[in-house]
Structure 1
C-alpha cells in the first residue's frame, strides 16, 4: 500500500505555491540557529551559508532567529530585524535569489528564554505570558519574569509587524513566525509557561489568542506580498501540550489564514530530545558555559534510551495532516529519498530539512540527479553546539566548513 501511495504522490521536485510565493520545488531549509551574526551583525558568513543552500537546490532557505528587537534575542550573537541590518540582509537575499531560490526570515522574540546579561537586556525582568520564577534565568542571573499586560501585548505585536515589514524591505520572500520551542509566542501556547486566567490563558483556544493576534496583524501588513509561515511545536514533549492541542493549533492557524505551518516539536529546555529525535552530545557547547550547564541539566532529565530514526515525527505530523487542509511542511529527520517520498505520500506540501543540509548543502540537487539516495548525516547533533564556535553552525564530519573570517564583517560586499 505504501509503495502505491509513493507512486501516486506529488513529485518533491515540482513547483508549489505558498500564499503569494511560488517555490521551485518542495524542499525548504529549516531555520537552524547559525551562530554567524557575531555581535548581532549580519555577516558574509551568514550570507554564504544560505547562498550554498540555494546553490544546492533547495527552493527556500530560512534565516534563523531574526529578533524583533535587541531585547528579543536569546544571545548577543543574533541578528535583529532593524533599520541598521537591512543593507546586510539585502546582500543575503540577493545571494539566495541569484541561484533561483527564495529567502525566508524567521521572526521571533525570546521572552523569558534569554541569556542576555544585564547590560544587554533593557528590562529588569524579561517578558513572558506569566510572571514569577524564571527557571531559564537561573543560568544568567535573571530569576524572575514579568507577566505581559495589555499595553505590552499590543507593543509586542507591533514589534512583529515592524520586523515583517523590514523583512520585505530587505528582499525576503517569506517570514516565519516562531510559535514553538519555548520562545515568547510559544510561552503563550504552552501550559508549561502560560498560567494566566484571563482571555490569554486557560484552554488551548485562549492560549492561542495572542499568537493569533500577532499572526493576523502580520498577514494584514505583508501577507499580500510575502508568504507568512508559522513554525510551532505539535507537542511539548512528555508534559504540556499533547497532539490534540497541536491539532487545535493547526486549526487555528488555518482559520487565521496562515499560508503554511512548519510542524516541529518539543521545547528547548524541557524536551529537546523530542525536538531533535536524539539527545544532544554530553559535554557540548563549543566553550559556551551556559550551554554546557544546560546540556548537563538536560542529561539529568531527558530520556536515556532515545535512538534516532528517520522521520521520527511522522506519526504526529500525520495526525495534524488529517485534520487541516492548509499547506504543511513536514519537519523531523528526513534523510533519504525514501523519507522524502513518504512525506509526499502523506500529503505534506513541503519538506523542511535541517541537519541533512548542514551536512551537505547539495543534498537536494544530489537527490534529484540520482547521485545519492541517502544523507550521510548521523544525527549526532554536534552541529547544534557548533553554533557557539567562531565558525558557527557546521557539520564536523564533512568538508562544508564555514570560514570564521567571514563572520568578522558585515554581509555587504
Structure 2
C-alpha cells in the first residue's frame, strides 16, 4: 500500500504528500475582493500539512459568479492572489485555483448581472432563477461557446501569473460545465447534447484548450460529479466522463457527486441544516427547499462515496482524488488501498487545518468533525467558512471589503 505521506507527481507538479484541501466555497472574497482572511485560510491549511490547497470558485468573469462574494480571476485580482499563493508556498505546499462559471446557477442581483437570461447548455425555464427573478435562461450558441472557452483559458493564464501551481476546472455540482455534462440541464440535440459523449464535447473543448495554454506549467485537474443523484447521470455516465478526461489528458480528476439544487445530500453524504443556519436569505430559502425534497433517512458515514469511486478507479488509469467523508487514518488507508492517488478533504480540514500533520505524527487518528454541514452555510456570514465546533477560529475582521492582502 502506497503511503499517503509519500510524494506524488501530478502533471508538472510534484506534491509533498497525497492530501488535498478540496474546494469549499469560503465566502472570504467580500465584494469579489481577495481578503487577508482568504489568504490566511489557505496558508493555515498549508501549514497544517496538506500538499495542495484549492481556492474555491475563482470565476472566469464577474458574470460567472454565483454570489457577489466570490473572487474573479481578472487582472485586478492577480496581485492579491499572488500574495495568497506566496503564503501557501511559504509552508511548502502548492496552491490550486478552481476555475468556474455559474451559467444559469447564479443569484447575482440585476445591478450586477444585468441580463435576464443567464447562459446555459439549454434555454427555457430557469428553476434556479426563481430566487433571483431570472425565470429563463439562454441556450449557448457557437459564438457563446467559443467566447466562454476563451474565458476559461484567460482565467487559467491569470492563475499561472498569480503563482498558482494548478488549476481545477469545475465540471460538477450544477455549474456551467456541469450543465452540459448533466442531462438534468442539457436538453440539446446537436453535437453538444444527447449521449454522454456529446454532452462532454464542450467541457472537453475547454479542458483541451486550458491544457494547451498552461498544461506544461500547471497541473490541470478536473472536479466532476460521478452521479447526479437519483435522477440524471448515473455511475456508468460517471465512468464515461472519467474515460473522456483521461483521453483528453487531464492530470487528475477529483471524484465528487451530486448537484447543488437537486441532490445536495448526494454531495455531502448528510443533509444541510434545515433552516440554513448562518446563511443569507437565499441560502435559507434553498435549505428549506432542500429539506422538502432531501431523503429523510440519510445518516453520514465515513467514505460515503467509496463504492462509486471504486467503480471509476477500476475503469481508468489516470490519477484520481478520492473525495467524500474521509475523517480518520483508517479512512485514509482505505482510500490508498483502493488505489486512489490523493485524498481530497473539505470538512475535516475546516474543522482542524492541522489534521494532516496530526495524523502523520500520530497525535490523532480521528477527526472531530461531525459532518453537521454548518460550515457550508457559514460561508455566507461575515467570517466566511468556519466550523462552530472547531478550536481554530478565523478572524472575521480580515474579511472586510477592501481588506486586501
- The alignment partner of 1:162 has SS state of helix
Paired residue for 2:135, among 125, 139, 143?
143
Q: 1:220 aligns with which of 207, 212, 216?
A: 212
Structure 2 CA distance, aligned partners of 1:391 and 1:402? 7
Counting only pairs closer than 5 Å after superposition, residues 237-316 of structure 1 correspond to structure 2 as 237-316=229-308
Q: Secondary structure at the match of 1:366?
A: helix
Residue equivalent to 2:14? 22
Q: Which runs of 5+ in 2 are unaligned?
A: none
What's 1:6 paired with? none
| 2:341 aligned partner | 349
- Return the TM-score normalized by structure 1: 0.97
Give, in angstroms, the shift of residue 402 of structure 1: 1.4
2:326 paired residue among 334, 344, 351: 334
Q: 1:201 aligns with which of 179, 183, 193?
A: 193
Contact kept, 8 Å, 2:200 with 2:241, in 1: the verdict is yes
SS in 1 for 2:115: coil
2:117 aligned residue (103, 117, 125): 125
After superposing on structure 2, the runs of 4+ consecutive aligned residues of structure 1 that deviate more than 4 Å are 409-413
Secondary structure, counterpart of 2:14 in structure 1? strand
CA distance in 2 between counterparts of 1:96 and 1:386 reads 23
**2:370 aligns with one of 364, 369, 378:** 378
SS at match of 2:66: coil
1:111 aligns to 2:111 (yes or no):
no
RMSD in angstroms over aligned alpha carbons? 0.8
Tell me if the contact between 2:279 and 2:377 (Cα under 8 Å) persists in the aligned partners: no
The Cα of 1:124 is off from its aligned counterpart by: 2.3
Whether the 8 Å contact between 1:360 and 1:398 is mirrored in structure 2 is yes
Q: Measure the CA separation in 2 of the matches of 1:60 and 1:246.
A: 24
Q: Distance between the aligned counterparts of 1:410 and 1:258, measured in 2?
A: 36
Partner residue, 1:5: none
2:394 aligned to which of 396, 399, 402 = 402
Distance in 2 (alpha carbons) for counterparts of 1:412 and 1:122: 27
2:164 alignment partner in structure 1? 172
Q: 1:340 to 1:122 in 2, by over 3 A?
A: same
SS for the counterpart of 2:170 is: strand
1:318-363 Cα distance to aligned partner (Å, 9 max, x none): 0000000000000000000000000000000000000000000000
Mapping of residues 49-64 of structure 1, within 5 Å:
49-64=41-56
- In 2, are the aligned partners of 1:46 and 1:411 still within 8 Å (CA)? no
Q: 5+ residue gaps in structure 1?
A: 1-8
Q: Shift of the alpha carbon at 1:285?
A: 4.4
Does the CA contact (< 8 Å) of 2:279 and 2:379 recur in 1? no
TM-score, reference length from structure 2? 0.99
